[in-house]
Each structure stands twice: as structure tokens, then as C-alpha cells.
Amino acid sequence: MQTFDLFVPIKSVRKSDESLAAVTIIDEGVAIMTQIIEDKSVAIRTNDDFGYLVIDDVVVPQERDELHRHVMRDTFFYENSFEWNKVWHPLSGMSLLTGPKSYGETGKPGPAYPTGTSYDLFFASVERHRDVITDFLGIDKESLKYVLAAYLYRAGWALPWHEDIGEGAEYRGAFSYYLHKEWRGNWGGELMILNDERLHEPGENTIDLAFSQGTGLYPPSHVAGGIGTFIAPKPNRLVVMRPKVLHAINTVSPLAGENMRLALAGFYL
């Protein structure tokens, strides 16, 4: 059974690096930007309407296997073990996550790159796409910094609709890199995105609404339009989202069995 790989039409493609070899038009409004990394062609997809960037085959296979082994040996704890993060509704399950790791001076606890661990394989692989990512997010490439943790979702767990809000300052973007070795199309866990929908009127607190409304949505925003897209958690895929993108993680299906959705996810600061 193959993993679904669904994208809506792409509004624009940015070209920010001399190593970008070509832009291939595959349908009206749809394009794939091709970047050459170590003699390998890497497909990069962007969508301005939904505010996402997708890069496949981010880490070379041997390094990805080592990264996977290392992450699975890391220490995980339950989200909400110490304090309730209300973006997780009590009925939506939760996640298991590790302590934070940083790229650049983030001011967050935990080690920063180079960490001297296999997490550096991820940091170094993403570094090859620095120009594309910073151009997409509108960030100066010399000031790029982000923090990440590994997240595990088992069958029955999900993350309700929300938009990311930083502590004391707004995030400059978010990302997820899918590290599980296999993911089938009927296992759920898709990243879902709504276009031009917002959680709240100005001044409302979206985190509080996650409990009071059950879904985290300010009614009736999710039914006013109700049209969005999803991105399958294809192994070795990196998804970058701009700030204030309304998104959710679909429930991992019982069909996944003991297979868990594993992602390195975090925020650009």
C-alpha cells in the first residue's frame, strides 16, 4: 500500500539559490522546484495560499537510519506531564516528546548545534536548504535559528486545530520532519491545513479556546469555508509553515497498529 502524496495547486515558486537547477511545470498552477544536493535532485514544493513548503528526501538514507536509532534511544516524556498545554484537548490524546535541541542562539534549554549527537545529522541536512527556507519565511539567512523536539503519536492520538503562538513573541514559522521508517496511506496522522481561516477575533486567547470549544476553533470559522488540504507524513519529508497558519494533526488510525508517527518538530524564532 502506498503513502498518499497530495498537494493543492501551487501559487508561486521562489528561486533563491544558484543550485536550483530547474522549475518544472507539471500542470496549470502546479510546479516543482528542483535543487541539486550532492549530485542528487531534490523536489521542493511551495504553496503561498496555504503557507507551506515541502522538501522530500532531506537526509541521506544511511544518516537517516542513524538519526532514527539515536532519537528512539532518547528520553521521552508525556506532553502535559508537568503542565497542561491546552492545545491538546483532553479527548484528543497527547504525544510523547523529548527535551529541546536548538540551532542557533534560541535561549531555550538543552543542547545547541553542534550537539555532538546524531541530531547533528538533521541540522546539517537542513542547512543545505537554508536559502530556500529563509526566503520562504522572509528571514535573513544569517539570523536563522530554531528549536526542535522529537514527537511520537500512537494510534488514537491527534493534535486539534490551532495556530502557533510563541511565548512572549510570535514564532516566525514552524516545521515538521517525518522520521518514521514507514507510513501507509490509511494510517492517518496527516498534517491538515485550512486556508484563510482564523481561530479568533483580535484579542482572544487561542490556547484557552482549545478547551472551551473542544476543537480550538473560534466558531463558526471552521465551517464558514471548510476547505483545506493535507500533507501526508511521508518518511524523510520536511514541511515548513509560515506563521499564523491554521493546522492540525489528524488522528493516527488504529490501522497503524504499533507503528508510531515520529517527527522532529519545532519553531523558527
DSSP 141: G
Residue 31: strand, helix, or coil: strand
Checking if the pLDDT of 176 tops 90, the result is: yes
Residue-wise pLDDT for 187-227, tens only, equals: 999 999 987 655 444 445 554 444 544 444 554 455 566 78
For residues 165 and 53, which has the higher predicted lDDT (pLDDT)? 53
pLDDT tens digit string along 102-134?
A: 999 999 999 999 999 999 999 999 999 999 999
Distance CA 86, CA 199 (A): 14
State whether residue 133 is helix, strand or coil: helix
- In what helix (H) or strand (E) does residue 72 lie, and over which residues does it extend? helix 61-72
Cβ proximity of 207 and 86 under 8 Å: yes
Phi/psi of residue 4, each to 5°?
-65, 145
The lowest-confidence range among 60-64, 157-161, 168-172 is 168-172
Res. 178: pLDDT tops 80: yes
Residue 179 is predicted with a pLDDT of 98
Confidence tier at 164 by pLDDT (50, 70, 90): confident
| pLDDT at residue number 36 | 61
d(CA 235, CA 233): 6
Residue 269 has pLDDT above 60, yes or no: yes
Lowest mean pLDDT segment, chosen from 21-30, 79-88, 123-132: 21-30
Strands 173-178 and 237-241, by their bridges, are antiparallel
